[in-house]
Structure 1
Amino acid sequence: MAYWLFKTEPDTFSIDTLRTQKTTCWEGVRNYQARNMLRDKVRVGDEVLIYHSSCQRIGVAGIGHVVKAAYPDHFSWDISSDYYDSKSSPENPRWFMVDIEFSRKLSRVIPLSELKAHPSLQAMPLVQRGNRLSIMPVTDEEYHAIISCE
């Protein structure tokens, strides 16, 4: 099992949305590096930290787990979708998604400022300046350090 951090903007999709839906596809990844991780490395059973960004309370808000490995993101060839990409098609998909299931909401959002100050998280890409990936790996040590902040 591996650990991941998936960023989302909570006014679009939040940990509460995931709790309500129980299981959902994680679509809309439009960065090649994040897409490659999603397609090539994320596996069924992996744990996912749900991270709220671009909001008032930025930080880790909950946990999900992967229930379906990467498959083509069909929104990329749906012209009515915000995620449409004219260069993607069912025959030659450019983008991929996974399905995740709600595990639990944390008792509080663990803020980015706290994560940046945590000694065990100094090498984590999330706390590095300029890192904007929507999907990033999390080491076992980092995962447990974050959960211990709850």
Structure 2
Amino acid sequence: MAYWLIKSNPNCFSITDLQRLGTEMWDGVRNYRARNFMRDDMKVGDTAFFYHSSAKPSGVAGIVTIATAGYPDPTQFHPEHRHYDPKATEDTPRWYMVDVRFERAFDDILPLSTLKFLPALEDSLLLRKGCEQLTILPLELKHWYAIMDLVALSEQADDDVDN
């Protein structure tokens, strides 16, 4: 199993939207590196953090599971769709997508401003210059556990305040 971080602007699609739907297509990705991750590397059962980008605050909002392996994104073929690509054909698709399934939303967003100071993430693509615009990032197991440890601490602190 591999670990990922997938980004979405919550004004377009949020963890709450996915929670309501259960499973949804992760379509509209128009970056070749992210496309390659979905097409070649993401597998059914992989786990990903759902990250709210361009938000106040931006950060990790929950967890999803990859529900399907990569397949051609149908939006690339429809001229009326905002993700249409005139160079893509059914025989030679350019863009791929996966379906994601909701697993859980965190009580609070784990903000990027906190993640930036986590030593275990200093070598992650999430914090690497030039990778800020990638909507899909692979994570190493140590990155996954470092973020999950912060989530657990945050939720424990919330429980302590409530009691």
Structure with a larger share of its residues in helix: 2
> What residue is the counterpart of 1:137 in the other structure?
138
Q: Name the TM-score, length of structure 2 as normaliser.
A: 0.90
1:94 aligns with 2:89: no
- Preserved contact between residue 112 and residue 127 of structure 1 (Cα < 8 Å): no
> What do you get for the CA RMSD once the two structures are aligned?
0.8
Q: Which residue of 1 aligns with 2:60?
A: 60
Structure 1, unmatched stretches of 5+, are none
Unaligned runs of 5+ in 2: 152-163
Looking at structure 2, the residues matched to 129 and 12 of structure 1 have their Cα atoms a distance apart, in angstroms, of: 25
Moved over 4 A (4+): none
Q: Comparing both structures, which one devotes a greater share of its residues to strand?
A: 1
Q: Deviations over 1:52-111 (max 9, x none)?
A: 111112000010001110010000011111110001121211100001100000121110
Q: What is the CA–CA distance in structure 2 between the aligned matches of 1:142 and 1:119, rounded to whole Å?
A: 10
* TM-score of the superposed pair, with normalisation by structure 1: 0.97
Which amino acid in the other structure matches residue 14 of structure 1? Answer: S
For 1:65, give the aligned amino acid: T
Q: Deviations over 1:23-49 (max 9, x none)?
A: 001001101111011100000000011
Deviation (angstroms), 1:130? 2.9
- Find the aligned partners of 1:139 and 1:39 in 2 and give their Cα distance: 19
The 3-state SS of whatever aligns with 1:149 is: helix
1-side partners of 2:107 and 2:141: how far apart?
21
